[in-house]
Amino acid sequence: DIKGFAFDLDGVITDTAKFHTQAWHALAEQVNVTWTPELQESLKGIDRMGSLEMILKAGDKQADYTHDEKVALASWKNNHYVELISGLTPDDILPGMADFIKELNEKGYKAIVASASKNAPFILDRLQLTDSFVGIVDPSTLTANKPDPEIYVRAAELLNLPPEQVIGLEDAASGIQAINGAGEVSLGIGNADILHDADIRFDTTADVTLANIAAKLD
């Protein structure tokens, strides 16, 4: 029986991807790396320094910067990003998700946030969702990032549930891999070509309800 839900943030609860994209695209231009749709997609769910390395690698520029210079580039991107997300309001919750989270709270399911984003507490606060979750996995305490299962293993521990009683919700292939590796039920939201490893899948967040999930789990 499912008793808990572990939520990815970006692409599941709210669309911060467009702001990440805007800020990373600006950074790519600064370091003279060509921005492509493939590069953009590959950054989904990847932590901040990992994303920077992928951008530099795409332009064969990983060796051109010292560690300190990379940290400065990542913090330049984050300052730009935080400026972009500071205007978020509850209206920016993705379609259906406010109702779904409310449904979980009312029916006694436990929910937690498993996001690679260090900005997750700020974003949940802006969306007025902090109190709807029992907690947020702190990504700075992790030794490995998505697609490593660690973040979803930690989510189940914090929910105090065995992994098979937890559904993980993700929009990125790296996240689905992490959920599957943790032994949880993976729920993908988005394109079937990208999310082919998800146990169950919905096209959009608006389709995610307890009834629709129960129908697919049968």
Instruction: Answer with the entry of Mg ion, ligand B16, none that 118 interacts with (C-beta below 5 to 8 A by kind).
Output: ligand B16
Taking CA atoms, 17 is separated from 21, 23, 100, 143, 190, in Å, by 6, 10, 21, 24, 13
Active site residue 1: no
Catalytic entry in 8, 138, 197, 207? 8
Q: How far is the CB of 183 from ligand B16 (least distance, A)?
A: 19
Catalytic entry in 1, 10, 92, 218? 10
Query: Which amino acid makes up residue 186?
Result: S
Residue closer to ligand B16 (CB basis): 197 or 214? 197
Q: How far is the CB of 211 from ligand B16 (least distance, A)?
A: 25
Which residues here bind ligand B16, judged by CB under 6 A?
Answer: 8-11, 20, 43-48, 51, 78, 115-119, 172
Q: Which residues pair with 170 in a beta bridge?
A: 188
Residue closer to ligand B16 (CB basis): 51 or 180? 51
Active site residue 64: no
Q: How far is the CB of 215 from ligand B16 (least distance, A)?
A: 26
Instruction: Answer with the entry of ligand B16, Mg ion, none that 184 interacts with (C-beta below 5 to 8 A by kind).
Output: none
Which residue number is nearest to ligand B16 in terms of Cβ? 115
Residue closer to ligand B16 (CB basis): 102 or 118? 118
For the annotated catalytic residues, the residue numbers are 8, 10
